[in-house]
Structure 1
């Protein structure tokens, strides 16, 4: 009888160990990719998104569940963003994101629609280096911040090329600076400069609003530079905290 009980005990122990071992290796990580934009001097900047891939530290590439389509980047500025891809990943580390674009990319200037030539993005995809460690049991997220102004190049023959300038932002560890200016309609560039002289810039939109996203926690010097004859306005010791919008309110030029 004692022998039978001992055998049963080992069987139960073996099942328990095996179950625990399986649970520890079957973890997945929820992952979302969102897209936002810094305003630019265009009426529309349309990006033809086909697919999004991520590569982990193990070298494995995963095709995410992508909401493919034509996105007007200018609809997602000053704090607005849109979810473009999502998936469950088995690797806790993301080293690279790859955006695959189609050929229907356009820019609208003065009411005229121009095609955006994107040869490199069409052939191999736009590769963005990321060093992000994912956590279990939460919605891990990364924000792709397009700079529409810097991403579009006008050629000498009047055509336009798309050379995407994109910053990757891990929203959980960064903060934002936002606010607005008067008079509304003034063209201006806003810049946040860290204590180690790293600059982050954006543009004021048609409503006078601005937001600089993806700032590491710290103290910044914030400058608004409007077109002449208006003069720049500077605020020092602007504190940025992770996960927080630092609102500067309405700033008069």
Structure 2
């Protein structure tokens, strides 16, 4: 998808995976399949609610290209209720930490229970219903290699604003998760700050006309996770119209590293 930063300023955020990594050898010296360590983490971007709780029951993994078979429950999943809005701006929680065969992850399924709900800024609790098509688990396409000898951390980055849909004027809300998957072994991170810290600001990492990833600042800080190595122009788009956008060009990203960017001060109109 190709979007200009002006389009994204209106709320269109690009979701997607990162480029595929080369796998290591596929067996140990004793002839058994080589194992690699996979962590699955959950994080979120800020949303306009006080709390958003999801009920995680199970994670299933598929290493084949057949999406109707070969699904295997992932060991060590920490089932339970998670408040997504506690997991923002460089905070996450590990949902699973397990050994799997080295090779490729084609897909995973995030299986949720029935105890999903939100709390409005006014303190009202509202249950979130889940479409019947997702009751067998939300399928996420990965299609990336996992490498032996390192921790491969797969982060599930919820977009709360897009994941919660109001059902007309009924007062009901539907949970239709929109999740960006990030395998940190194949990407780098960008961290920085925006002033004034009271102004929520969209931060976009752009190459040419392509927006590769985006997030919002929280308390003046931001973190863009898991993007390919290269140079990016960072665009800062404040939600407060008393301030002008800002750009920081040529920010380098290195695989497996965090690039810390000098704090940007938004200019007043």
Shorter-chain TM range is 0.7 to 0.9
The corresponding residue for 2:38 is: 31
Displacement of 1:132: 2.1
Are residues 187 and 58 of structure 1, via their aligned partners in 2, closer, same or farther at CA, if it must alter by over 3 Å? closer
Q: TM-score, normalised by structure 2?
A: 0.80
Aligned pair partner of 2:94 in 57, 80, 83: 83
4+ runs deviating over 4 angstroms: none
Paired residues for 1:222-241 under 5 Å: 222-226=234-238, 227-241=240-254
Aligned length: 233
The corresponding residue for 1:119 is: 131
Deviation per CA, 1:109-144, whole angstroms, max 9, x where unpaired?
A: 122121111124652210000112222333322111
Displacement of 1:196: 5.3
Q: Are 2:260 and 1:247 aligned?
A: yes
Task: After superposing the two structures, state which structure 1 stretch, 29-38 or 55-64, moved more.
Answer: 55-64
Displacement of 1:41: 1.9
Which of structures 1 and 2 has the bigger CA Rg? 1
Task: Structure 2: state its 5+ residue gaps.
Answer: 1-26
Aligned pair partner of 1:177 in 190, 194, 218: 190
Supply the distance in 1 between the matched residues of 2:29 and 2:192 (Cα, whole angstroms): 50
The corresponding residue for 1:212 is: 224
Q: Are 2:115 and 1:104 aligned?
A: yes
Supply the distance in 1 between the matched residues of 2:133 and 2:250 (Cα, whole angstroms): 40
Task: Structure 1: state its 5+ residue gaps.
Answer: 1-19
Q: What root-mean-square deviation, in Å, do the aligned CA atoms of Structure 1 and Structure 2 show?
A: 2.1
Aligned pair partner of 1:153 in 158, 165, 180: 165
Match of 1:150, SS state, is: helix
The corresponding residue for 2:214 is: 201
The higher-RCO structure (CA 8 Å, 6+ apart) is: 2
Aligned pair partner of 1:46 in 53, 65, 86: 53
Match of 2:162, SS state, is: helix
Match of 1:198, SS state, is: strand
Supply the distance in 1 between the matched residues of 2:137 and 2:222 (Cα, whole angstroms): 30
The corresponding residue for 2:140 is: 128
Is residue 56–residue 91 contact of structure 1 (8 Å, CA) maintained in 2? Answer: no
Is residue 180–residue 209 contact of structure 1 (8 Å, CA) maintained in 2? Answer: yes
Is residue 151–residue 165 contact of structure 1 (8 Å, CA) maintained in 2? Answer: yes
Are residues 58 and 222 of structure 1, via their aligned partners in 2, closer, same or farther at CA, if it must alter by over 3 Å? closer
Is residue 179–residue 250 contact of structure 1 (8 Å, CA) maintained in 2? Answer: yes
Supply the distance in 1 between the matched residues of 2:163 and 2:228 (Cα, whole angstroms): 23
The corresponding residue for 1:142 is: 154
**Hey, which of these two has a bigger chunk of helix by percent?**
1
